[in-house]
Amino acid sequence: MNILIIGSFMMDLVVRTPRVPKNGETIIGTSFNRFPGGKGANQAVAASRLGGQVTMVGKVGNDTFGDEMIEALLSNHVETSNILRDDTYSTGIGSITLDERGNNRIIVVPGANLKFTLSELQEVEELIKNADILLVQFEMDDKVIERAVSIADFYGVPVMVNPAPAHKVSDEFLSKITYLTPNETEAEILTGIKVQDMEGAKRAGRILIEKGVDNVIMTLAEKGALLLTETESTHIPGFQVIPKDTVAAGDAFNGALAVQITKGISLVEGIMFANAAGALTVTKEGAIPSLPKEKEVKELMEKSDAFKIIE
């Protein structure tokens, strides 16, 4: 279960407020917290807590936030020896506003994340070659991500891409992806198809399959996820929970799914597990602090009736 994650680190600066202010308006928030996060780091910790053997590659600043990020990963048994430090650029930060319903608005300042270079990537080619799965996102330099995916494709290593924050990509890039995990908004950006209902989700997913993606797993928030392949279209329902903070729910899903894939679990069963991990994450505050452990996920699955698969 050797999971290699090449991705980002963000110190999340979280303000909780009764509602998001209107343009030009000042309102009184209810709390402020600081949590280590970033899609790459979140997914690494999620996968490790759920039983995966995880190595993380990326770059942080040579600063206090960078120290805290590496310590957070080490304390969760993630291999960190290939995380680089940058003396010029600071560790990335995410400015997050949460309303009382748990909805979030996020501004990301990538900092050192964007300074990981192609030559530095070349130094970890052996790690990619020997991985059981490579998991990447879009919070690093596009050329680095594209090259990492190409290296994995060359060596026959399965590639999972979480296309966030989403932007248009080439068909050539899509054709090298084994598992693509967009949410509804990201699927719309990738395909131009409005995803407002299940039929729209299926249309967008089919376009991505036609462009060469092997498996599209579209996350649908509380509605669960939609799995599309050349021959299959399966809706896997979500788990009903009371949301407190939706930050990192998608990252928990991706980390959980990567673990299940490396265990040889079927995609449908793996997505059920990932749905449960994402659901548990929204019941707690913060990114890394909210990520569940394997025992919690299994307990939720055992007591839930969300096992009916809808074709």
Show Cβ contacts of residue 260 under 8 Å, excluding neighbours closer than 6 positions. Answer: 269, 270, 273, 274
Question: What whole-number distance in Å separates Cα of residue 217 and Cα of residue 220?
Answer: 10
- Encoding tokens for residue 267? 């995609």
Closest CA to 284 of 65, 98, 40: 98
- List 67, 86, 251, 305, catalytic entry: 251
Residue 259 gets the label, from left (phi > 0), alpha (psi -120 to 50) or beta, of alpha
Question: What whole-number distance in Å separates Cα of residue 120 and Cα of residue 112?
Answer: 13
- Encoding tokens for residue 290? 């909210």
Catalytic residue status for 153: no
Cis upstream peptide for 165 (omega within 30°): yes
Q: How many CB atoms lie within 10 A of CB 30?
A: 11
Catalytic residues: 251
